[in-house]
Amino acid sequence: MLTRKKLQTTVLLVFGIVLLINILSFRFFVRADFTEDQRYSLSDATKNIIGNLDDPVTVTAYFTENLPPDIEQVRKDFKDLLIEYANYSDGMVVYDFINPNENQQTEMEAQKNGIQPIMINVREKDQMKQQRAYLGAVVQYKDKKEVIPFIKPGAAMEYELSSTIKKLTVTAKPEVGFLQGHGEPSLDEMQQEKKLLSVLYNVKPIKLTDTTGIPPTLTALAIVAPKDSFSQRDLNYLDKFVKNGGKLLVAVNRVDGDFTTQQGKEVKSNFFDWLKKLGVNVENKFIVDVNCSNIMVRQQQGLFVMSTPVRFPYIPVITHFAKHPITEGLEAVTFKFVSPVKTTTTDSTVKITVLARSSDKSGLKTPPLYFDIMHQWRKSDFLNPSLPVAVAMEGKFLGSKNKSKIVIFGDGDFAINGKGNNAQRLQEDNVSLMANAVDWLSDDTGLIQLRTKGVTARPIDVTLSDSTKTLIKYVNFLLPILLIIIYGVIRFQTKKKIRKQIQSIDYV
């Protein structure tokens, strides 16, 4: 029988347990993360970076308050992330949130520190108005400072913050070289790639001479879109680099297209023969793919000339990626005039990973050819499914005793912006793919896993029927309500039973 003394003891015991849990939760931070990509958990790379801090890192976040929910979520996520950093670093990461819109002084302070406002639409009293909003942060370590000017919704926040801290605390950056002298684009033609890599690496052009070969200080060498043949001297330098265990990134154009003449042609170079010595054959063919990008075509319609988007299978959009650090988190990469990358090595000790493939509806075209923009594509044009366009290889090459890593792409232009006024901004996945490859070749911090770790759209599978989509929609809407009702009924019945038990007690 439940007596008054037992009831009091139970209440005190519950109160004590709750108090103890609160004290422990204040001292020890624990949170379960059930998201697919562990979005709300710090990676081992981040823990390693902040665990080795010898001086505090101060993060001053300038965020406008009372913004629309989708943008306000950015502020909340960034604050949650900083709480994680502070807890795991034992106080070596400290942070402060400032609302620049509070007064003119704080707004001037934000702008002085490199945080510029953006204009967003806000609904107020059934009217739309524009508001100045700040979503940035300043990271300071000792006497050095770095600015994160804008943290956009869905961004890889952990990579942004961890790489910034790494950049501030590293004493000497690893060197990554981009080969020059064979028609390769300059680093100024790869603005986005250079900017992204410069966070963690000292990116430098490498030109070979009779007296200087490939510097032994390089952690990786990139050969991007060479147009000319290589001298025997330069090929010998490459042989020596690979034999010494050097890490090599190769992005080549085996074929090329000219929109002015509408011609597709083969690119000839003895460099492709050198690649065959490594067990790689970049085929002299164009890949065409149903999953492709559009080009704008000028068409006469009456008295007017209109630009119309036309699907162009010679520019595949690659969405089939292997589960590998280089491609983890990527969703779509556009390759222009890409060729298949086939491996021919018979050495079973060499590990080969096909990083990316064309879609199940792809085909091959052999140059020379003419680009018929208005060509009516048929199923017979796409009879070569899942063609490899990027490959990673690990092992010993050219009879060497040293283990090396090599990454080969069948397109040399996917990370090139271009020159001057003709430069184009690339989609982020294109830039991240090459940066991830450089990371895999030369970085041991593990930050490669964070670059593409962000909130991305997860649309319902387009192959689902309308009835299935409707069922999913109503289940998502009604199931939480039903669960709350069931919980309420169970709770009501439990409380009712407890009241009856209490009322039946005879307090004498």
Q: Which of 492, 350, 334, 353 is nearest to 424 (CA)?
A: 334
Q: What is the pLDDT of residue 455?
A: 46
30 pLDDT tier (thresholds 50, 70, 90): low
The more confidently predicted of residues 199 and 465 is 199
- 433 phi, psi to nearest 5 deg: -60, -50
pTM of the model: 0.75
CA distance 43 to 40: 9
Q: Is residue 97 part of a domain?
A: yes
Average pLDDT score over residue span 249-276: 95
The more confidently predicted of residues 339 and 493 is 339
Q: Are residues 497 and 429 in the same domain?
A: no
Q: Is the pLDDT of residue 26 over 90?
A: no
Q: What is the pLDDT of residue 462?
A: 47
Average pLDDT score over residue span 429-447: 86
Q: What is the pLDDT of residue 25?
A: 62
Task: Give the domain-ending residue among 168, 195, 227.
Answer: 168
Residues 6+ apart with CB under 8 A from 388: 340, 341, 342, 354, 356, 357, 410
Domain enclosing residue 156, as ranges: 39-168
Q: Is the pLDDT of residue 349 over 50?
A: yes
Helices (H) then strands (E): counts for the chain: 10, 24
Q: Which of 62-66, 73-77, 274-278 has the highest mean pLDDT?
A: 274-278
pLDDT tens-digit profile of 114-129? Answer: 999 988 877 766 677 7
Q: Are residues 126 and 75 in the same domain?
A: yes
Average pLDDT value over all residues in the chain = 87
Task: Give the domain-ending residue among 442, 471, 491.
Answer: 442
Q: Are residues 374 and 262 in the same domain?
A: yes
pLDDT tens-digit profile of 41-65? Answer: 788 888 888 988 989 999 999 999 8
Q: Is residue 331 part of a domain?
A: yes
Q: Are residues 318 and 364 in the same domain?
A: yes
Render 30-44 in DSSP notation, one character per residue.
Answer: -----STT-TTS--H
Q: Is residue 151 part of a domain?
A: yes
Q: Is residue 452 part of a domain?
A: no
Q: Are residues 402 and 438 in the same domain?
A: yes
Q: What is the pLDDT of residue 457?
A: 47
Q: Are residues 199 and 161 in the same domain?
A: no
Q: Which residues pair with 428 in a beta bridge?
A: none
Q: Is the pLDDT of residue 270 over 80?
A: yes
Three-state secondary structure string covering 217-256: CEEEEEEECCCCCCCHHHHHHHHHHHHCCCCEEEECCCEE
Q: Are residues 146 and 6 in the same domain?
A: no
447 pLDDT tier (thresholds 50, 70, 90): low
155 pLDDT tier (thresholds 50, 70, 90): low
CA distance 415 to 68: 35
Q: Is residue 294 part of a domain?
A: yes
Q: Are residues 256 and 390 in the same domain?
A: yes
Q: Is residue 453 part of a domain?
A: no
The more confidently predicted of residues 71 and 316 is 316
Q: Are residues 422 and 486 in the same domain?
A: no
Q: Is residue 448 part of a domain?
A: no
Q: Are residues 71 and 125 in the same domain?
A: yes
CA distance 336 to 492: 64
Q: Are residues 66 and 205 in the same domain?
A: no
Q: What is the pLDDT of residue 42?
A: 83
Average pLDDT score over residue span 86-107: 92
For residue 80, give the amino acid letter.
D
Average pLDDT score over residue span 310-315: 94
CATH number at residue 136: 3.40.30.10
The count of structural domains within the chain is: 4
Q: What is the pLDDT of residue 345?
A: 87
- Terminal C-alpha separation, the chain: 13
Q: Is residue 451 part of a domain?
A: no
CATH number at residue 421: 3.40.50
Q: What is the pLDDT of residue 503?
A: 75
Q: Are residues 368 and 241 in the same domain?
A: yes
